[in-house]
Amino acid sequence: MNIDNLVNSITPDVFERLQYGASTGKWPDGTPLSEAQKAQTLQLVMLYQSKVAKSDEQFTINERGEMVQKSKRELQQEFKSQNEIARFSENDL
């Protein structure tokens, strides 16, 4: 199986489990990952983020395999636009 087929076969549920394992060092059931599993899990998460998931997280991997870190200003603008329902001026009230 080539890498693209492998990454495209990962379901969102499996990706969530892989992310959990990569961040905590154990599977959701509590089983610890071996050093090899940790490395492979992290690589799979990064591949999935770069090829499938268009993430809005602060740290992610882009399509070229480069780590992307959003600035504080970018995050504030994102959160502001997501949480804004309506904007009124005093004249409208």
Q: Is 33 left (phi over 0), alpha (psi -120 to 50) or beta?
A: beta
Contact 35, 8 (CB under 8 A): no
Both tokens of 15, joined, read 């990706």
In this prediction, residue 57 carries a pLDDT of 59
The pTM for the full model equals 0.58
Contact 71, 82 (CB under 8 A): no
In this prediction, residue 78 carries a pLDDT of 66
Greater model confidence, 23 or 54: 23
**Cα 32 from Cα 21, distance rounded (Å):** 8
